[in-house]
Amino acid sequence: MLVRLITALSLVKLLVSCAPAPESSRGMAVLHCEYGSAQSLGPIVNSSVFDGSPTLSADETELLFTSARHPTSPRGQQDIFVSRRSARNAPWSRPVNAGAMINDSSGDDFSLRLSNDGKALYYASNRSGGFGKGDMYVATRASVEAPWSRAENLGAPLNTDAFEAFPTPSADSLTLFFNRSTTFDSQDSDIWVSTRARTFDQWSAPQRVSGAINSERAEFSPALSPDGNRLYFASERGGSVELWVATRGDHAQEWDAPEKLWMEVNFPRSMTLGPFIANDQRSLYFMAARQDLAAAGACTPGTCFDRLDLYASTVSCR
């Protein structure tokens, strides 16, 4: 009798261990991530005008971002700036303009993404001579100490007569996520993806990211984790511009349904977008416009764009 009971219990245990995980357990990594309270990068980095699109080197000692603090343009032209620090916890240096090789003299340059090795800077621009309302470009350098080459348009089929922005490469630079929309602020913005077999090959015809990433509202500013299994992005599906994250078990799997990040990141009635996850996935950088709670309405691109600043939040996943 005792042998039968032990055998039966062993069989039940085997069946439970082999059973597929319940649907509610999908995306469990998101539920087990905790985000620290968002902290401003401070008055050295942030200015009284628009500052956004943060991207960092793998060791987090080089910060590139877009700012409207253009020294000569009265209309607040957006240029790329760079700040550095000696170590991960050291203070940032005063930002300087990244120079004419990557900044256009009359157009805006924005939506920055630094490659994992720090040798390629992907970004968007509305400079003249492009395909559409906003095009994606890339500049390269021989080493992290070398100067940038002149930026090159990524060309068709990535760029069209629409608005493309936030070109986000995978760690191996063989996959590129980005957002495409009719105009800069239209609600038809979706996240797209393109691939290539080798770094010197042409990009494939892009496709909308499958699964539940895109919705009927605008999705934009994707940010891919170094392992390629976490996709952060901004969405208006909740009624305001907030950060969301989707996960997958590996690159062959579909993305799980995205989850909205907690209030430590998505402050009520504010606008939070442009995420960038650090190489060790312990810090999440982004831009946000924090709304005065006594104000009449929530932040929108039309009302709070010029108030965007750079923030960072700690990330702890287990």
- For residue 129, tell me if it sits in a domain: yes
Burial degree of 201 (CB within 10 A; 0-12, 13-18, 19+):
exposed
The range of the structural domain enclosing residue 61 comes to 37-317
- For residue 19, tell me if it sits in a domain: no
- For residue 13, tell me if it sits in a domain: no
- For residue 6, tell me if it sits in a domain: no
Structurally, the chain folds into a number of domains equal to: 1
Helix (DSSP H) and strand (DSSP E) numbers for the chain: 3, 21
- For residue 4, tell me if it sits in a domain: no
The CATH number of residue 46's host domain is: 2.120.10.30
Cβ proximity of 134 and 76 under 8 Å: no
Residue 166: which H helix or E strand, with range? strand 163-169
| pLDDT tens-place values along the chain, 318 residues long | 433 433 443 433 333 333 343 333 343 444 478 999 999 999 999 999 999 999 999 999 999 999 999 766 655 789 999 999 999 999 999 999 999 999 998 899 999 999 999 999 999 999 999 999 999 999 999 999 999 999 999 999 999 999 999 999 999 999 999 999 998 888 999 999 999 999 999 999 999 999 999 999 999 999 999 999 999 999 999 889 999 999 999 998 999 999 999 999 998 889 999 999 999 999 999 999 987 655 667 787 777 888 899 999 999 988
Q: How far is CA 18 from the centre of its chain?
A: 37
Cβ proximity of 231 and 284 under 8 Å: no
- For residue 277, tell me if it sits in a domain: yes
- For residue 312, tell me if it sits in a domain: yes
- For residue 173, tell me if it sits in a domain: yes
Residues 6+ apart with CB under 8 A from 43: none
Instruction: Give the global pTM.
Output: 0.87
